[in-house]
Amino acid sequence: DAGITQSPRHKVTETGTPVTLRCHQTENHRYMYWYRQDPGHGLRLIHYSYGVKDTDKGEVSDGYSVSRSKTEDFLLTLESATSSQTSVYFCAITDPLRDYGYTFGSGTRLTVV
């Protein structure tokens, strides 16, 4: 959707390789989030950020790290990809000063072989 983009949209990688997913927003929102979506689990929070260089862990953070050096970019890194990290990854943003509700990116489908 306009205002938030994820890249790449699709990626296939090998077990043990590092992978970085990018979320870019043009809305100047303070809060950014990374979720993974898996059948039977819905969406689970990996990491989130509440400002530049301010990040925190979600419920499934093991094996993932994040960085936010600019307001507009939030990077998710799989340090050493495993098959259990095959998933669809969504980035979301929100600005609680305006209204409740996330705006989601279109997702990245990651396959680890």
Partner 1 sequence: GDSVTQMEGPVTLSEEAFLTINCTYTATGYPSLFWYVQYPGEGLQLLLKATKADDKGSNKGFEATYRKETTSFHLEKGSVQVSDSAVYFCALSGGASGTYKYIFGTGTRLKVLA
By CB under 8 A, name the binding residues for partner 1.
1, 31, 33, 35, 40-45, 48, 50, 58, 90, 92, 94, 96, 100-107
**Euclidean distance between CA atoms 104 and 32, whole angstroms:** 10
Cβ neighbourhood burial of 61 (10 Å; 0-12, 13-18, 19+): middle
Q: Report in angstroms how near the CB of residue 1 gets to partner 1 at its nearest.
A: 7
Of 8 and 16, nearer to partner 1 (C-beta) is 8
Q: How far is the CB of 17 from partner 1 (least distance, A)?
A: 26
Nearest to 22 by CA among 2, 5, 46: 5
Q: Cβ of residue 14: shortest distance to partner 1, in angstroms?
A: 25
